[in-house]
């Protein structure tokens, strides 16, 4: 079985996000295969939520498309069961606290383990509230991913010390979505993280193309791209997997040898 740490052993990592069920789960399956075939090191699978407060318009729209298509937490687990053994790239879920909580955290985490999910990203669960989820994750060997933001300041060391899997460094203020410019001093934040933790750091929010990815990857162990991929899926629908693959290849090529 591959672990999250394996994602950071082939040069700088390219972490790809996709909303499950956008526009349907068959497409998601093909996108996952295409991501794996084209060099993605870690795959973040978004379980859609009706009111994703940390997302910008692009991923909000993907959540709406997926939910109107009828996708549920259970159908996403079933999709992963069907793909069992096929995906060697480590995968984590990204969703909101209520999706996990309402399913029953213990039951949810148990099913994650069964289908090979290695971690959980919950953007509305900060350090202070991790006790609702972390003990269940630890019991089943899942990493509850910690996030560090440009505003974290004196909180960085505390967060870093307890981090598991990888650290999700939020590149900018605001919600997810591509940006023309990222002004946060990624280098100095990463430096504080490194002084407190050996956990790999991947930076996300607003990274749209290879040039920006390079700039961000220099200071970190990898880049996370969500909205740019979701936009390709929005544009091409069921024909998206091949285009997502091309994009993934270009991004991995841009960052791997930095």
Partner 1 sequence: MTNPKGRFGTHGGQYIPETLMNAVIELEEAYDRYKEDPEFQAELTELLNEYAGRPSRLYFAERMTNDLGGAKIYLKREDLNHTGAHKINNVLGQALLAKKMGKTRLIAETGAGQHGVATATAAALLGMECLVYMGVEDMERQALNVYRMRLLGAEVRGVETGTGTLKDAVSECMREWTSRIEDTHYCLGSVMGPHPFPTIVRDFQSVIGKEIREQLMEKEGRLPDMLIACVGGGSNAIGTFYDFIKDGSVELVGCEAAGRGIDTFETAATINTGKPGIFHGMKSYFCQNEYGQIAPVYSISAGLDYPGIGPEHAWLHDLGRAKYVAITDEEAVQAFEYLSRTEGIILAIESSHALAYAMKVAPKMPKDRIIVVTVSGRGDKDVAAIARYRGEDIHD
Q: Which is nearer to partner 1, 137 or 147 (CB)?
A: 147
For residues 90 and 7, is the Cβ–Cβ distance under 8 A?
A: yes
Compare residues 2 and 64 and give the one whose CB is closer to partner 1: 64
Task: Kindly state the smallest distance separating residue 209's Cβ from partner 1, in Å.
Answer: 22
Question: Which lies closer to partner 1 via its Cβ, residue 9 or residue 50?
Answer: 50
Query: If residue 172 lies in a helix (H) or strand (E), which one and from where to where?
Result: none
How far apart are CB 229 and partner 1 at their closest, in Å?
A: 21
- The nearer residue to partner 1, 87 or 192, going by C-beta atoms, is 192
Return the structure tokens found at 234.
């929005």
20 or 35: CB nearest partner 1 = 20
Find the shortest distance in angstroms from Cβ 62 to partner 1.
13
Q: DSSP characters for 12-66? A: SEEEEEEETTSS-HHHHHHHHHHHHHTT-SEEEEEPP-SS-TT--HHHHHHHHHH
CB of 21 to partner 1, least distance (A): 12
CB of 156 to partner 1, least distance (A): 10
> Could you tell me which of 70, 45, 50, 75 has the C-alpha nearest to residue 60?
50
Residues contributing to the site for partner 1 (CB under 8 A): 49-51, 53-54, 56, 60, 67, 72-74, 96-103, 123-129, 132, 147-155, 159, 170, 173-175
């Amino acid at each position: 079985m591959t672990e999250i740490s394996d994602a950071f052993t082939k040069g700088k990592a390219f972490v790809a996000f996709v909303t499950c069920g956008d526009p349907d789960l068959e497409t998601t399956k093909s996108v996952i295969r295409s991501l794996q075939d084209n060099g993605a090191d870690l795959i973040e699978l978004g379980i859609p939520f009706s009111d994703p407060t940390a997302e910008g318009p692009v991923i909000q729209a993907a959540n709406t498309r997926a939910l109107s298509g009828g996708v549920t937490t259970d159908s996403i687990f079933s999709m992963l069961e069907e793909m069992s053994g096929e995906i060697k790239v480590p995968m984590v879920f990204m969703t909101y606290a209520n999706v996990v909580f309402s399913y029953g955290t213990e039951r949810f985490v148990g099913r994650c383990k069964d289908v090979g999910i290695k971690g959980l990203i919950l953007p509305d669960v900060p350090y202070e509230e991790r006790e609702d989820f972390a003990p269940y994750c630890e019991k089943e060997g899942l990493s509850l991913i910690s996030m560090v933001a440009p505003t974290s300041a004196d909180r960085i060391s505390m967060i870093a010390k307890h981090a598991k899997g990888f650290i999700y460094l939020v590149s900018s203020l605001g919600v997810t979505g591509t940006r023309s410019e990222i002004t946060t001093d990624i280098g100095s934040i990463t430096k504080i993280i490194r002084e407190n933790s050996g956990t790999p750091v991947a930076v996300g929010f607003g990274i749209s193309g290879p040039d920006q990815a390079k700039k961000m990857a220099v200071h970190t162990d990898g880049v996370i791209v969500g909205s740019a991929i979701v936009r390709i899926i929005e544009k091409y629908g069921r024909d998206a997997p091949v285009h997502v693959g091309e994009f993934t290849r270009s991004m991995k090529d841009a960052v791997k040898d930095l």
